[in-house]
Each structure stands twice: as C-alpha cells, then as structure tokens.
Amino acid sequence: MKFLLPFLTFFSLFLSNLVQAEMPQPDTIKNPPVPHVVPSPPPIAAKAYILMDYDSGAILASKNPDKKVEPASLTKMMTAYIVYNELKQGNIHLDDEVTISKKAWQMPGSKMFIEVGKKVKVGDLIKGMDIQSGNDATVALAEHIAGSEETFTELMNRYAKQLGMKNTHFQNATGLPHKGHHATARDLAILAHAIIHDFPEQYKIYATKKFTYNGITQYNRNKLLWQDESVDGLKTGHTNSAGYCLVASAKRGDMRLISVVLGTDSAAKRVRESQKLLNYGFRFFETHKLYSAGQRIVEARVWEGKRDTVGLGLTQDLYVTTPRGQFKLIQKQTDVQPDIKAPVKKGQKLGNLKVTLNEKVIAERPLVALDEVEQGSFFKRLTDQIKQLFQSLLAMIGL
C-alpha cells in the first residue's frame, strides 16, 4: 500500500493538470455579447395602456394595466369573439339572414345603417360591426345568437371569465356607457390575443379599410392601418366618458405585438400613442421560440417500468421575449422529480423548466411525460428496488 501512495498522488496530479489544460483559461474565454441598453417606455398620454408580445405573453410596457375603465366600442371585440365561435361551431353561418329588430335599428352612436324589418346576412353584419363599429349591427348579431342583447351579455361575461379577463364586466354588447360596464388594458390584450389565436381567418376582417352597405361607404376608424403597413387590427372605441381608445396589433418579421391604449383625448392621439408603443417594442425587444410542444427536452430515469427512461417536454410552444441582443444570455434549468416510478401517464407532470436572464426568471413551465411507461415485470421491479437500495447505501457512506 505504501508503494501505491506515490503513484496515486502522481496520477491525481496528472489528471488535474489534464483537466486544467483542456479548460479554457480566463484570457482565452471570449467576451460575452454586450447587451443592448433598453430605455424606459416613451411617455404615453393615456389613462391606461399595455404593450404585450403575442407569442410569449411578455408585458413590455404598461401603465395602470389593471385599472377598470370604460372600454367603449372595444366591447365589440368580445361580441365578435362569440360570433366567431358560433360560426366555428356551425351554429350560425355567414349566409344566414337576420331580421333587423326595432331595437337594433334605433341604436344610437355609430351605425351600419340597416333598416328595421329588413333581412341582412350575418357576414355583412360582422363587417358592419368590425369595420364600421355599427351599434345597430352589433345588437342585431347579439339578438340573432341569444334572442336578446341581455341574454347575450350573460354569454359575454361567461366568456370573459373563461379567457381569464379577471377585471372585466359587460352590461351590453356595444360598449355604450352603462354603470358597471368596465374592462382593463390587460384584459383587452388577453381578448385581442384570443381573437388572433382562435380565429385567424375572421381576424383578417379587422384589416379591411372600408365597407360599403346600402350605398353608404364608411372607413375603418383604425387609422394605423393606413399609417403602418405592419398593423392588421384591431378596434377603436370612443365615448365622451371613456375618451378615445385603440387596441392595435402589428407583425414585423416573426414578431407580433398587441398594444392597448385607453382614454386619450383625441382620435389623432390614440393613433400616435399606439404607434409610439409599437415602435418601442419592435425596436428594443426580440422574441424567439425556445421549444416546440412535444419536443424532448430532457430524459428522466424511471424505476420499475418496462422502459428505464421517459422523455420530458412541454404541452405548448414556449417563446421568450428579451431585450434585443440578450437572447444568447438566457439560462435554462430543468428540475426533474427524483425516484420516478412506473406506471407513468402521458402528460404527467414530472418536473419544471425555468428560463432566466440576468438571474431574473422570464419563463417557467411544467415538464410533462411525452409518453407513458407501463409497470415492469415482477423481476424488473425487484431488480430496480435492489439497485435503489444500493444507491441509497452508497449515498449514506458518501461514495
């Protein structure tokens, strides 16, 4: 044993020097990329606003995002969401003819100029609501779907709850002033995201610049459609009490942003402030797809199963938004549950994924089993139990 000690010492030093030689020395490590400086958002003259990345859901700028305010005609986005869903489910069709009620015909405010007792196709009413912001078309659609605007409003609130719009409550389908009728910038961004994601074909209507019905041509009130070619939606709103409001969405390259500006004091200002927000987001941030749904991110050891491992991944695509130039600095950490035993069900949560930038968590998702693992035979279970026992003993004695 005395003769082995010098040899072991030499061998240990040799391995240490070898490892050090293979490791990059401080003067050879490349300097990390210098992150771009991200300034504060520009001043926005509005009661409340929010700027959200469509794919990641990251909030890039906000002011009073959860303040309850009057949404005015932005309310029609929820009416549209329900109408689109009814179309998708096959409950109504674009060619269905709707008989216009006296209530719909006499609605005040912006109009499509439909006539009482006449029949109008659902497709035309949708354009009248989305492009011209017609209160008459909106009520006609609500009555067609639910029998009355009051019953339709119940649907609106149920959908709002389902979508996670926690601080929104509707009293009508149009957005005309009414006590207890309110929404928030955050909730309206959630709703805009849902429209774009769930009904991409119907969403295209919002980019239409004009619509002619009954010999009357009216233009889309979202003037950003003329000013910025990357803008393709969504909706304006205005009442004396709510001020001038605009929910906009724009896509430049692979990046889509949603802006909500509430309570400006002129139609021109809601356009200008929305443009400032969108330009800020596209200029100083970037969004990347990190993982696809179902992509194998890590392998987890499974005990007592027919297979020894199972792949873990995500149930949905994961996008991250970072200040421009800092994407390469993100860190990804996986935390897998220890001692996973079969049976394992597909979709079973078995760990977590955490994404950080400069030690700040920017995304966190559960890791789930991508396949099922059935329980192994009696002999396989016994063998794995013995292996685990030995591992525990070795851990106890520090080996």
What CATH number is given to the structural domain containing 193?
3.40.710.10
State whether 296 and 245 are in the same domain. no
Q: Which domain holds residue 240?
A: 48-284
Domain finish residue from 284, 310, 326: 284
Residue 341 burial (CB count, 10 A): 15
- Residue 42 lies inside a defined structural domain of this protein: no
- Residue 33 lies inside a defined structural domain of this protein: no
- Residue 274 lies inside a defined structural domain of this protein: yes
Per-residue pLDDT tens over the stretch 67-87: 999 999 999 999 999 999 999
Give the HSE-up count for residue 349: Cα atoms under 13 Å, Cβ half-sphere: 4
Per-residue pLDDT tens over the stretch 345-371: 999 999 999 999 999 999 999 999 999
Give the HSE-up count for residue 324: Cα atoms under 13 Å, Cβ half-sphere: 11
Residue 391 or residue 296, greater confidence: 296
- Residue 34 lies inside a defined structural domain of this protein: no
State whether 122 and 61 are in the same domain. yes
16 in catalytic set: no
Q: State how far the Cα of 123 lies from the Cα of 4, in Å rounded to an integer.
A: 89
Q: Which of 133, 249, 259, 274 is catalytic?
A: 133
Q: What integer pLDDT is reported at residue 384 of this predicted model?
A: 67
Residue 8 burial (CB count, 10 A): 9
230 in catalytic set: no
> Considering the entire predicted model, what is its pTM?
0.86
Please work out, in degrees rounded to the nearest 5, the angle formed at the alpha carbon of residue 72 by the alpha carbons of 67 and 74: 85
State whether 94 and 54 are in the same domain. yes
DSSP codes joined into one string, 321-386? EEETT-GGG-EEEEEE-SSEES-B-TT-EEEEEEEEETTEEEEEEEEEESS-B-B--HHHHHHHHH
Q: What integer pLDDT is reported at residue 391 of this predicted model?
A: 77
State whether 345 and 329 are in the same domain. yes
State whether 257 and 347 are in the same domain. no
Q: State how far the Cα of 201 lies from the Cα of 184, in Å rounded to an integer.
A: 26
Main-chain dihedrals φ then ψ at residue 327, nearest 5 degrees? -60, -35
DSSP codes joined into one string, 79-93? HHHHHHHHHHHTSS-
Residue 370 burial (CB count, 10 A): 18
Per-residue pLDDT tens over the stretch 146-167: 999 999 999 999 999 999 999 9
Residue 116, pLDDT > 90, answer yes
Q: What integer pLDDT is reported at residue 376 of this predicted model?
A: 82
Q: The tokens of 67 are what? A: 């303040």
Q: What integer pLDDT is reported at residue 332 of this predicted model?
A: 96
DSSP codes joined into one string, 63-75? ESTT--B--GGGG
Residue 389 or residue 216, greater confidence: 216
* Chain position carrying tokens 């928030």: 184
State whether 276 and 338 are in the same domain. no
The size of the chain, in residues, is 399
For helices 76-89 and 149-163, the axis angle rounded to 10 degrees is 90
Q: Which of 47, 56, 62, 73 is catalytic?
A: 73
What CATH number is given to the structural domain containing 380?
2.60.410.10
- Residue 20 lies inside a defined structural domain of this protein: no
| Cβ 141 vs Cβ 122: under 8 Å | yes
If one counts the domains in the chain, the total is 2
Domain finish residue from 263, 284, 305: 284
- Residue 27 lies inside a defined structural domain of this protein: no
According to DSSP, the residues that pair with 245 across neighbouring strands are 237
State whether 303 and 377 are in the same domain. yes
For helices 149-163 and 135-146, the axis angle rounded to 10 degrees is 90
Confidence of residue 25 (pLDDT cuts 50, 70, 90): very low
According to DSSP, the residues that pair with 51 across neighbouring strands are 61, 259
Q: What is the CA radius of gyration of the chain?
A: 29
State whether 236 and 300 are in the same domain. no
| Cβ 168 vs Cβ 54: under 8 Å | no
State whether 308 and 265 are in the same domain. no
- Residue 150 lies inside a defined structural domain of this protein: yes
Mean per-residue pLDDT, 289-296: 97
> Among 201-205, 356-360, 392-396, which stretch is predicted with the lowest mean pLDDT?
392-396
State whether 183 and 259 are in the same domain. yes
State whether 299 and 260 are in the same domain. no
- Residue 17 lies inside a defined structural domain of this protein: no
What is the bridge-based pairing of β-strands 340-341 and 298-303?
parallel
Residue 294, pLDDT > 70, answer yes
Nearest to 373 by CA among 316, 292, 300, 297: 300
State whether 319 and 253 are in the same domain. no
Q: The tokens of 377 are what? A: 């035979």
What b/e string do you get for 111-131 counting C-beta neighbours within 10 Å, with b at 16 or more?
bbebeeeeebebebbbbbbbb
Q: What integer pLDDT is reported at residue 393 of this predicted model?
A: 77
133 in catalytic set: yes
| Cβ 104 vs Cβ 139: under 8 Å | yes
Nearest to 78 by CA among 138, 144, 140: 138
Q: Which of 47, 76, 111, 127 is catalytic?
A: 76
The SS3 assignment for 76 reads helix
Per-residue pLDDT tens over the stretch 314-339: 999 999 999 999 999 999 999 999 98
Nearest to 181 by CA among 141, 125, 241, 133: 241
Query: In the chain, what percentage of residues exceed pLDDT 70?
Result: 90
Domain finish residue from 257, 284, 311: 284
The letter for the amino acid at 6 is P
Q: What integer pLDDT is reported at residue 398 of this predicted model?
A: 64
